[in-house]
Structure 1
Amino acid sequence: IGFSVSSVVSGVFISRYSTGAIIPIFSGLLLAIALVLLFVKTGSAPAKAVTLKEMQIGRVFRDKKFLIFLCYVFFMQLAHRGSFTFYPLLIKQLGGDTSLVGYASALMFVSEAVIMFLSKRMLKKTKPEILVMISSFAFVLWHFFFSICQTPGQVVLACLMDGPSFALFTIGTLYYMDSIAPPDIRTTYQTVAYSIYFGLSGIVGNMASGWLIENLGYQPMYWIGMTVTLTSTIVFFFVRRVAGAKAAGAALEK
């Protein structure tokens, strides 16, 4: 809700004045928050810093199940990061102004809030990895909607897909990590997964998307994103089925 309100206000303010004009306002707000935090007493001892050795990253990369999932989410987010980064430029290209970017962001955050509110109920009925695969089909629809948008308003409405796609993906991934990771290094699993699907895929995806837009245009970028997302999901589904069948066969032999 906070993101939604600030996005709308920021978009309108930037559209009326300039991007630079809002920087002092946010700087003042951040300074006020920092001053408040200085006077907050938690009553607990400072947390101990975790060393690289204690994170046991080597154990993480020996987990084949986790590595397969990492490859899957890397390619899925590879396609998404570029489409997310460049959607404000798409709005501008279609004749929209900065205020519409604020409204689009607000719709994204509202749709995310709805999915997160319903997430506990969904997790009771569906496995986390299935939620991730469902989110991938929502990503495909998001790419498709962006590819056919003819007006700025249509782009804004398409941003409602952020909840069923990115929010569902985030929740599913978090709980999937929790289900497969050894209890003593769960945070390491989450850290590695985050650095891959949000960091590395973001770097590669934004660079590739920028090149595609420059040389082919927006529509081909979204169609390629649809193809990559759908292909990675199908491959993961079959790999998961094969791995499950092998595990079941090994259990019967024992």
Structure 2
Amino acid sequence: MSKDGAPKSGGLALRVFIFFYFSTIGLSLPYLPLLFRQNGLSSLQIGILFSMGPMVTIAIQPLWGFLSDRFKTVKKLIILQLIVTAILSFVVFRVTNFELLLPTLFVFNVFAFPIIPLMDSLALSSIKNSRGTHYGSFRLWGSLGFGFSALLFGLFFRTHDLLLFPICYSLLLILCLCTSFFLQDSVYAGRKACLNDIKRLASSRKVFTFLLLTALLSSTNRANDAFIGIFIKQLGGQSDTVGYAWTVAALSEVPVLALGGMLLARFSELKLLTVAAGVFVLRWTLLGITPDPGLIILIQLIHSLSFGLFFLCSVSYMSKLAPDRLRSTAQGMLAAFLGGVAGIAGSVLGGAIMSGLGARILYLICALVALAACFFYYFRAKNEEGEVRRQETE
């Protein structure tokens, strides 16, 4: 038992669950675009398909978060989502026609995409109910799961056809489902959330501007997610090169996430987000000029100080902007912008740019967008510091 009386096994089960669920992402994110390409889809069509999830996130994710806060349960919703996702996965990844893929992938994403924010809500709940833990100590298991999966399936698909993708995905989801029954549900204090709570949170200028800024920077990362595998192939790389690139990126997050508690105790989230945006500028610029797929693997090492730091600080800052009773709702709103708005912009616009101008121009445009985000974060951090000083002198 922990000091507060909560079973330690709950934290262990959550870490194992996070590992397995991010393993499914380590399979789908690098190799689903390659499967779509093998099935004859264009970069623009792939971008549109990848925007299905973000579209769902914008419309559905806040609703899932509200249902969780309203009925004071996260675990039961995750189990429901996993069951439906597992059933649909046997069908959706076997469809090869673009017109049929649009509606089937849309329905699939209604249940698949909301799992991560609810998972984050469980982690944040666990942090509040136990000492000596921080969000990064949970999230790093996602990086390990993603990296392990990306590497394993990169080697696997070098000698096996990508048509085996649906079977691999379904098996990983079954492991997630088995683990989910051992999760410890969130502990909610006080009254249930109501619709007026959501309206007040959504109408907060501080919350809304932060979400827009987060979406701006995240859109560059979403474009990279959708097309880096294709870019590596264009440069002459193989499936295992794609796997290595994703594995290095995921595993590079581990040190940042492990030290996340110390970093957040010493620096404000907005200062760290400024640093992350600056590293994104460097990363996209290097990818835009690299001539060799092997160099991409080395460039992926700075994924830790770009996306890893960005995601960690975004989740932490959003949790401070919302009361505990709206924990899941707040993370759902963050996901709607970080994955939804950003995903549509990154996937659709990224696909159009890549089809018309090529991958190098896409990455250089991403670098300019990240530079703009870096300045915005910097000035917001300065303004917030000024507000704190004024409050201290009053």
Contact 2:275-2:374 at 8 Å conserved across structures: no
Which segment drifts farther, 15-24 or 239-248?
239-248
Which of 231, 237, 245 in structure 2 is aligned with 1:90? Answer: 231
Q: Which residue of 2 aligns with 1:3?
A: 146
Identity rate of aligned residues, in percent? 25
Q: What does residue 164 of structure 2 align with?
A: 21
Deviates more, 1:160-169 or 1:89-98: 160-169
Q: Which ranges in structure 2 are unaligned for 5 or more consecutive residues?
A: 1-143
Q: Name the amino acid aligned to 1:111.
A: S
CA contact (8 A) 1:11 1:102 kept: yes
From 148, 161, 180, the equivalent of 2:289 is: 148
Task: Show the 5 A alignment for 1:188-227.
Answer: 188-227=329-368
1:170 alignment partner in structure 2 = 311
CA distance in structure 1 between the aligned counterparts of 2:302 and 2:184, rounded to whole angstroms: 42
Counterpart of 1:61?
202
**For residues 44 and 105 of structure 1, do their structure 2 counterparts lie closer, same or farther at Cα, with a shift above 3 Å needed?**
closer
Q: Aligned pair in 2 of structure 1 residues 241, 216: CA closer, same or farther (>3 Å)?
A: same
Q: CA deviation at 1:181?
A: 1.9
Count residues in correspondence. 249
Q: Which residue of 1 aligns with 2:217?
A: 76
CA contact (8 A) 1:103 1:156 kept: yes
Contact 1:108 1:163 in 2 (8 A): yes
- Say if 1:78 and 1:204, in contact at 8 Å, map to a contact too: yes
Q: CA RMSD in A?
A: 2.8
- Unaligned stretches of 5+ in structure 1? none
Contact 1:4 1:110 in 2 (8 A): yes
1:231 pairs, out of 372, 379, 382, with: 372
CA shift at 1:56, angstroms?
2.5
**5 Å matches for 1:102-113?**
102-113=243-254
- Answer yes or no: is the 8 Å Cα contact 1:72–1:233 preserved in 2: no
Q: How far off is 1:104 after superposition? A: 0.9
The answer as to whether partners of 2:192 and 2:325 remain within 8 angstroms in 1 is no
What displacement does 1:23 show? 3.4
Deviation at 1:243, TM superposition (A): 5.9
Normalised to the residue count of structure 1, the TM-score between the two structures is 0.86
CA contact (8 A) 2:270 2:381 kept: no
Cα distance in structure 2, aligned partners of 1:43 and 1:226:
41
Name the CA shift for 1:44/1:148 in 2 (closer, same or farther; >3 Å).
Answer: closer
| 1:121 to 2:121 alignment | no
Conservation of the 8 A alpha-carbon contact between 1:55 and 1:188: no
Decide whether the 8 Å contact of 1:10 with 1:22 is kept in 2: no
In structure 1, what is the Cα distance between the partners aligned to 2:175 and 2:339? Answer: 30
* In structure 2, C-alpha distance between the alignment counterparts of 1:75 and 1:33, rounded to whole Å: 31
Task: Give CA-to-partner distance per residue, 1:30-59, whole Å, 9 cap, x none.
Answer: 44554x459x567989x9xx9984582211
Please tell me the residue identity of whatever aligns with 2:213.
Answer: Y
* Pairwise CA distance, 1:11: 0.6
Is the deviation greater in 53-62 or in 154-163? Answer: 53-62
Between 93-102 and 55-64, the greater mean CA deviation after superposition: 55-64
Between the aligned partners of 1:115 and 1:73, the Cα distance in structure 2 is 19
1:187 positional shift: 2.6
What's the secondary structure of 1:150's corresponding residue? coil
